[in-house]
Amino acid sequence: MHVSVLYKEVIEGLQPKSGGRYIDGTTGAGGHAFGILESSSPKGELLGLDRDPSALKVARERLKEFGDRLHLRQASYVEMENVAREIGWGAVNGIILDLGLSSLQLEDAARGFAFKHEGPLDMRFDSATPITAADLVNGGSPDELADILFKFGEEHNARRIVKAILKARPINTTQQLAAVVAATVGGKRGDVHPATRTFQALRIAVNGELDAVEKVLPLAVGLLAVGGRLAVISFHSLEDRLVKNFFRREARDCLCPPEQVVCVCRHKASVKEITRKPMTPSEGELRSNPRSRSAKLRIVEKILLA
Ligand SMILES: C[S@@+](CC[C@H](N)C(=O)[O-])C[C@H]1O[C@@H](n2cnc3c(N)ncnc32)[C@H](O)[C@@H]1O
């Protein structure tokens, strides 16, 4: 069974209420969506989005008891404003983004997300995405590949790994790629497989994940009603940095450099930070779901513009 990360913290943080409207931008197997619908009974509504049609199939089954309080659409969360408008919604009372991939996707060998399972090097969240991980690995130039591994995987051995990839091409499966990386940079680092960063980097590049996070944050704040909350769970430092910096900036009234005595930027805070420091999984959650270990939850609340 798929377990939602920081479930209790997300539901307590969003404070769903009957009659409220909520968006789950990353519905996945529908765990957080279930909690939001349950605690906004009897009249709260939820719009659930996911790029992955197979995730929505699972969510539809899990959430069927909520009937017409649930609206599910296959779409990227960057489309949330349009989709909300399509179903007749204006401002909403809460939005959750649980970034990255689900354990359902990770465990499905045919999706090619995991080096643990032999499968094609695919890694797309939806089949409409024009490139696969195999396209990048086998068609990317050395500079392109090194850039991807360094920027999206923070992999310091990027150049060495790329050299090995070029020598081994074509590489068509997850375990072929994992073996090439492991042979280049050695065995496990602690309990982290040496190919972890390479796989993360390729997945982010294939799905344009960081661009999507950068785009969705201002859109989501724009869609919130005053008092509405945005909760974001990130799983690696690249994502968390984007979320943290955006929240800090939007919670400040003036962004002028300190030497500027009089404000010229006229920036006004649009949110207040509910979590000054990110929430992380409890000991109990870490024990029962070790995959939650890198999760960080940040929450902001929309305020009235001064
Ligand atoms: C960590 S899972 C969400 C799990 C969910 N919160 C739950 O409790 O079951 C992340 C989901 O986000 C989806 N996803 C990733 N990028 C997306 C995007 N740009 N737009 C919509 N969904 C996206 C993935 O397909 C995946 O199903």
The mean pLDDT of the chain is: 96
Q: Are residues 165 and 237 in the same domain?
A: no
pLDDT of 304 reads 87
Taking residues 88-112, what's their average pLDDT? 96
pLDDT of 135 reads 98
Q: Are residues 143 and 227 in the same domain?
A: no
Q: Which residues pair with 48 in a beta bridge?
A: 24, 72
Domain-located, residue 2: no
DSSP letter string over 192-242?
B-TTHHHHHHHHHHHHTHHHHHHHHHHHHHHHEEEEEEEEEEE-SHHHHHH
Q: Are residues 34 and 163 in the same domain?
A: no
CATH number for the domain harbouring residue 24: 3.40.50.150
In this prediction the pTM is 0.96
Taking residues 195-202, what's their average pLDDT? 96
**189 has pLDDT over 70:** no
Q: Are residues 121 and 174 in the same domain?
A: yes
Taking residues 157-181, what's their average pLDDT? 97
The sheet with strand 21-24 has its strands ordered as 70-74, 45-50, 21-24, 92-98, 224-234, 296-302, 271-273
- Does 31 contact ligand 1 (Cβ within 6 A)? yes
pLDDT confidence bin for 295, thresholds 50/70/90? very high
Taking residues 189-196, what's their average pLDDT? 81
- Does 35 contact ligand 1 (Cβ within 6 A)? no
**206 has pLDDT over 60:** yes
Domain-located, residue 147: yes
Domain-located, residue 245: yes
pLDDT of 131 reads 96
**64 has pLDDT over 90:** yes
Give the separation between CA 293 and CA 280, rounded to whole angstroms: 8
Q: Are residues 284 and 214 in the same domain?
A: yes
Taking residues 74-91, what's their average pLDDT? 98
Domain-located, residue 24: yes
Give percent above pLDDT 70 in the chain: 97
* Closest ligand 1 atom number to CA of residue 212: 19
Domain-located, residue 166: yes
Residue whose Cα lies nearest atom 3 of ligand 1: it is 28
- Does 250 contact ligand 1 (Cβ within 6 A)? no
- Does 2 contact ligand 1 (Cβ within 6 A)? yes
pLDDT confidence bin for 273, thresholds 50/70/90? very high
Q: Are residues 157 and 213 in the same domain?
A: no
Q: Are residues 213 and 93 in the same domain?
A: yes
Domain-located, residue 49: yes
Q: Where does 63-112 show beta strands of DSSP type E?
A: 70-74, 92-98
Domain-located, residue 1: no
How many structural domains are present in the chain?
Answer: 2
pLDDT of 291 reads 87
- Does 137 contact ligand 1 (Cβ within 6 A)? no
Residue whose Cα lies nearest atom 4 of ligand 1: it is 28
pLDDT of 252 reads 96
pLDDT confidence bin for 228, thresholds 50/70/90? very high
Taking residues 179-189, what's their average pLDDT? 86
CATH number for the domain harbouring residue 126: 1.10.150.170
CB 27 within 8 A of CB 51: no
Q: Are residues 213 and 94 in the same domain?
A: yes
pLDDT confidence bin for 1, thresholds 50/70/90? low
Q: Are residues 91 and 219 in the same domain?
A: yes
Give the separation between CA 37 and CA 35, rounded to whole angstroms: 6
- Does 102 contact ligand 1 (Cβ within 6 A)? yes
Compute the distance from residue 187 Cα to the ligand 1 centre, in Å: 31
Taking residues 142-148, what's their average pLDDT? 98
**226 has pLDDT over 70:** yes
pLDDT of 305 reads 76
The gap from C-alpha 55 to its chain's centroid, in whole angstroms, comes to 14
Q: Are residues 239 and 286 in the same domain?
A: yes
Domain stop point among 207, 238, 268: 207
Domain-located, residue 38: yes
pLDDT confidence bin for 2, thresholds 50/70/90? low
pLDDT confidence bin for 229, thresholds 50/70/90? very high
Q: Are residues 122 and 170 in the same domain?
A: yes
Q: What is the DSSP letter of 155?
A: -
Measured CA distances, 135 to 10, 103, 172, 199, 228 (Å): 37, 24, 9, 14, 41
Domain stop point among 157, 185, 207: 207
Domain stop point among 178, 207, 236: 207
For residue 182, the enclosing domain spans 106-207
Q: Are residues 196 and 231 in the same domain?
A: no
Taking residues 244-262, what's their average pLDDT? 95
Give the separation between CA 265 and CA 257, rounded to whole angstroms: 10
pLDDT of 28 reads 97
Compute the distance from residue 239 Cα to the ligand 1 centre, in Å: 14
- Does 28 contact ligand 1 (Cβ within 6 A)? yes
**306 has pLDDT over 80:** no
